[in-house]
Chain A
Amino acid sequence: MRNSFIRILVIALVIALIGVLSIYSSTYQKEGALWQDIYKRQILWLALGVVCFFLMSGFNYRKLWDASYFIYGLALFLLFLVFSLGIIRLGAQRWLKFAWFNFQPSEFVKLAVIIFLARYFSRKSESDISLLSRKFGIFRGIALPFIFVAIPMFLVIEQPDLGSGLMILLAFVSLLYLTDVRLKYIIVLLILLVAPLPLFWNFLRPYQKERLLVFLNPNIDPLGAGYTVIQSRIAIGSGGFLGKGWLSGTQSQLYFLPESHTDFIFATFSEQWGFLGSSLLIFLYYLLIRQGFIIAKRTQDSFGKLLAYGISILLALQVFINIAMNMGLAPVVGLPLPLLSYGGSSILVTFIALGILVNIDRTRAVF
């Protein structure tokens, strides 16, 4: 039982430390104290994250059941706050300024939505121990939860943070699938989502359109929107088998690769550690997510089960989409690589999520 605790902590710490090394390597040549200190800030966040991990692993997750509507409400509140008070950076209004740091509520919203959905779908009728979701009709099975999901999703996309919005949607669809909501409802939902996409196109920001077009062919604008993808592919590919060595990456350290310490940190890492390091990193992520699924599988409590699935899915999707976008296999959406990218909110929320996961595994025997 303690095994999952130690395993998850060790894997997460290893990944996070790799992240610190990569952040250091991508920023140490940049001028200015702010850049120089960025890895120290990450270490601080990491320490804070580990504390949260310990706290959450000791915090009975069942209490989240009671608090889930409150958490959902808090998430919405924070999102509205971002709209009114949020600071604008890189053309997006995603951050809330606190005393000495900026907080990105969309990271928190992802987790909040998962908790909310787990709560929603794990309701049971008093006469039957089986989940209600199986018996849900189209309204309670799809439409109602979709409305609940759509509100924060819309707010997140409007920030604009297409990546996090998409993440919420994908997590929602995955949970629908996992909670045995009827397949035809899911298909109806997907059709309803996909059908208006051409219309949706017009609502996208110009840069988002550009990114999607560039995903289809990065060479249409090699110095503009396609630049990042091209440089990131070059960074990954030029690493070779063993990589260029730590602090020897030319792509990331000579500023060819933008966002080399956040969204494109995988390319930074891959350039320096090559195929070997990168596949090892992907394997570590796989192990971490596998732990999540194992915990989900052996948890009897349906709330805990769905929560564990939800958290694992969230991690898996973020890892996949981020790395795929680094490789040019997915369109560029602003999405951090959990545990590796620089960013306090992401690291904190990820550790909290992992703490919940550990707690689910720890508590399952109680029931």
Chain B
Amino acid sequence: MERRKLFVYFISLMFVVLLAGLLNLNVLQGAKLRRLSKSNCIRLIPQSGARGNILDRNGEVIAGNKISYDVMVLPQESSQVDRAISAVSRILGTGEKELKAAFRKNFVSSSLPAGVADNIDPKKAIVLEEYKAEEPSIIIQPKPLRYYPHGSSASHVIGYVNEIDRWRLTKLEDYGYKTKDIVGFGGVEEKYDYYLRQEEGGLSVEVNHRGKFTRVLGFQPPVNGKDVQLTLDIRMQKIAESALSGRKGSVILMDPQSGAILALANYPDYNPSVFVNRRTSAINSLFNNPDSPLINRAIQSSYPPASIFKAVVASAGLELKKINLSTNFICRGSMMVGARKFSCWDTHGAQDIIQALSHSCDVFFYRTGLLLGGQNIHDYAIKLGLARPTGFDLPYETGGFIPSPLWRKINKFQKWFDGDTANLSIGQGDCLTTPMQLTAMMAVFANQGYLPVPYIIKAVGGLDLEAKKKRLSRVAFKKSTFEAVGKGLREVVSDEKGTGNVLSALPVAVAGKTGTAQVSRGLTHAWFVGFFPYDKPKYVICVFLENGGPGHAATVIARRIIEEMNKQGLI
């Protein structure tokens, strides 16, 4: 019987072995196997929300979204990935090496699909979707992508979107930005990125052994970004752009009563969609172009204001009573300041303030400037919003610069000479302003007493920001000063010899000032800054042409714009 007892023990031992095996799998290897079980059947499918739209004041989409298709590959088994990639490569006609490099770059975890090709042709997406039956690790992911229905229109206002760079990432990490996020660069896209930004959602789904969907385990809905509405009017924007066509410079149209920007055009511009399509050569040529098309000239670069600055000197002279309406200076084509001869561009004879503005007589303003002194001119420039950023919504606004005796003494340890004052009086010398600053300054003369903070954001996510902010600050000049300067600006156009006389033929009464800025190299910069209609100003217009020749050139463009606006009934 010994054998039978032994045998029963042996059988019992077998059951002990089974229990031990069970214990081993459940307890010792339990965690590992549970993880494997999950990765077996759980797939995370990212679902991206759409970035907020950028609309013009009438709700017209300037930057919207359209559906694009990305190809992703599930990194489950390496052999599968290779097979899937070679299949994708066959269908897309892209090199396997490229796809593999993209896959490695985008790989995050084994349960998360990694992208290999972005924004593919919809037809190929369909073909690949069909192919999925054979290669379940291929995933076609629809994704909203930035789309610009108006092409390069308003490109500097909008900015562009691209993968976040290291500098922005270090700055924005704390706000939930991650590597490989698509963020705005420049313009509204950058400044309002936090609002425009979508929240990524995702599905975690269960799949069977073939990778076929069986059920949804969890769903975090993607949240679309908030729409940003601009004060921009895309019609005016287009008029401004076509008027500028091919000439380096910028055009700004602003509502002088509020400071709302209606058009902001720059040339050279760029098509933001090259960043969406990742067309590397096009992007590189944008960055390497010596004309720097990515620069928003209206706010990011500053130029000598030249004769536009005479409006500042005129107001300062009248306010400080250095001159009055009957003051006359005689222009003989030049005058001596110290030992240096300062010339005028013409010989105007006797000029009062109105005529001097209208004819842009330099001698009159040399003399007024010398009466005022450099510091006073500087102070009045400050009052009119120069030498500091206007507070405009878009990023990277530069402040410009107005020199003063005090600044000279402190920073350069040099004396201020009368010649410097004379130079400053006609907006030359070290004096630098942005087109936006001059637009805001001109608005003060248009609305007679209020310096607006230019803005371009009308509403964010349906919340009207326009109504919330009081943006105008009082410029406490006497009414007679505004009237006199205003009349002078009007005469620029209406006077037969006025520098802006080409605008007199227009059906609307325009007032403004031309400017021709001397530069150390190349052609002069051309300016025209004005407002219209004269009686009840609705628009401030600023046309600036970089190395565009005399102010007349800018005035002609301003005429073209106003003509076209009138034709379209926008005035």
Interface residues of A (CB under 8 A from B): 29, 174, 177-178, 180, 222-223, 231, 233-241, 250-251, 254-256, 270, 274-275, 278-279, 282, 285-286, 289, 293, 296-297, 309, 312-313, 316, 320, 323-324, 327, 329
Contact = CB atoms under 8 A, between A and B. Distances in A.
A177 B467 CA distance: 99
Contact of A238 (B15, B36, B209): B36
B403 to A, nearest CB: 76
7 contacts: A233-B25, A237-B33, A237-B36, A238-B37, A275-B27, A323-B18, A323-B21
A320 B18 contact: yes
Given A275-B26, A282-B22, A320-B14, A254 B208 contact: yes
Given A282-B15, A293-B11, A234 B26 contact: no
B41 interface: yes
What does DSSP make chain A's interface, helix, strand, loop or mixed? helix
A309 to B, nearest CB: 8
A237 B25 contact: yes
A180 B14 contact: no
Interface in B13-40: 14-15, 17-19, 21-27, 29-30, 32-34, 36-38, 40
Contacts of B38: 238, 250
B207 interface: yes
A329 B20 CA distance: 11
A123 to B, nearest CB: 19
Contact of B26 (A174, A237, A316): A237
Nearest to B4: A178
A241 B22 contact: no
Nearest to B26: A275
Interface string B124-166: 0000000000000000000000000000000000000000000
Contacts of A255: 208-210
A251 B40 contact: yes
Nearest to A256: B209
A236 B17 contact: no
A177 B26 contact: no
**Contact count band on B:** 35 or more
Nearest to A222: B77
Given A250-B41, A275-B23, A234 B17 contact: no
Contacts of A293: 8, 11
Given A275-B27, A324-B17, A324-B18, A234 B37 contact: yes
Contacts of A329: 17, 21
A283 to B, nearest CB: 8
Contacts of B209: 254-256
Contacts of A238: 30, 33-34, 36-38
B41 A256 contact: yes
Given A251-B37, A293-B8, A316-B14, A236 B208 contact: no
Nearest to A323: B18
Contacts of B4: 178, 296-297, 309
A279 B37 contact: no
A237 B206 contact: no
B212 to A, nearest CB: 9
A237 B15 contact: no
Query: Lowest 8 A-B CB distances belong to which pairs?
Result: A237-B33, A238-B37, A254-B208, A237-B25, A275-B26, A327-B21, A238-B34, A255-B209
A324 B13 CA distance: 13
Contacts of B32: 237
Contacts of B30: 237-238, 240
B3 A180 contact: yes
Interface string B536-559: 000000000000000000000000
A279 to B, nearest CB: 6
Given A250-B37, A250-B206, 5 more contacts: A177-B7, A237-B30, A240-B26, A275-B22, A286-B12
Contact of B11 (A275, A282, A316): A316
Contacts of B17: 320, 324, 329
A250 B40 contact: yes
B218 to A, nearest CB: 14
Interface of B: 3-4, 7-8, 11-12, 14-15, 17-19, 21-27, 29-30, 32-34, 36-38, 40-41, 77, 79, 206-210, 214
B11 A289 contact: yes
B14 A178 contact: no
A175 B14 CA distance: 17
A178 B77 CA distance: 50
Contacts of A316: 11, 14
Contacts of A289: 11
Contacts of B18: 282, 320, 323-324, 327
B40 A234 contact: yes
A289 B79 CA distance: 46
A275 B15 CA distance: 14
Nearest to B6: A177
Contacts of A286: 12, 15
Contacts of B22: 236, 270, 275, 278-279, 282, 327
B12 to A, nearest CB: 8
A258 to B, nearest CB: 9
A270 B37 CA distance: 13
B41 A254 contact: yes
A324 B18 CA distance: 7
Nearest to A244: B37
A322 B103 CA distance: 42
Contacts of B77: 222-223
A359 to B, nearest CB: 21
Contacts of B40: 231, 234, 250-251, 254, 256
A286 to B, nearest CB: 5
A261 to B, nearest CB: 15
A237 to B, nearest CB: 3
A320 B3 CA distance: 20
A88 B27 CA distance: 40
Q: Which of B14, B22, B30, B208 has the most CB of A within 10 A?
A: B22
Contacts of A312: 11
B15 A177 contact: no
Nearest to A254: B208
A254 B207 contact: yes
A238 B17 CA distance: 20
B44 to A, nearest CB: 15
A285 B37 contact: no
A177 B5 CA distance: 12
B204 to A, nearest CB: 13
Contacts of A327: 18, 21-22, 24-25
A155 B30 CA distance: 41
Contacts of A275: 22-23, 26-27
Contacts of A270: 22
B29 to A, nearest CB: 5
B8 A240 contact: no
Contacts of B33: 233-234, 236-238
A275 B26 CA distance: 6
A178 B11 CA distance: 13
Contacts of B79: 223
A363 B37 CA distance: 51
A235 B29 CA distance: 12
Given A234-B33, A237-B25, A327-B21, A254 B11 contact: no
A251 B34 CA distance: 10
A324 B15 CA distance: 10
Contact of A178 (B3, B25, B26, B210): B3
Contacts of A236: 22, 25-26, 33
A42 B26 CA distance: 29
Q: Which of B14, B37, B208 has the most CB of A within 10 A?
A: B37
Contacts of A177: 3, 7
A235 B34 CA distance: 8
Contacts of B7: 174, 177-178
A29 B215 CA distance: 12
B208 A256 contact: yes
A327 B18 CA distance: 8
- Which of A29, A250, A320, A329 has most B Cβ within 10 Å? A250
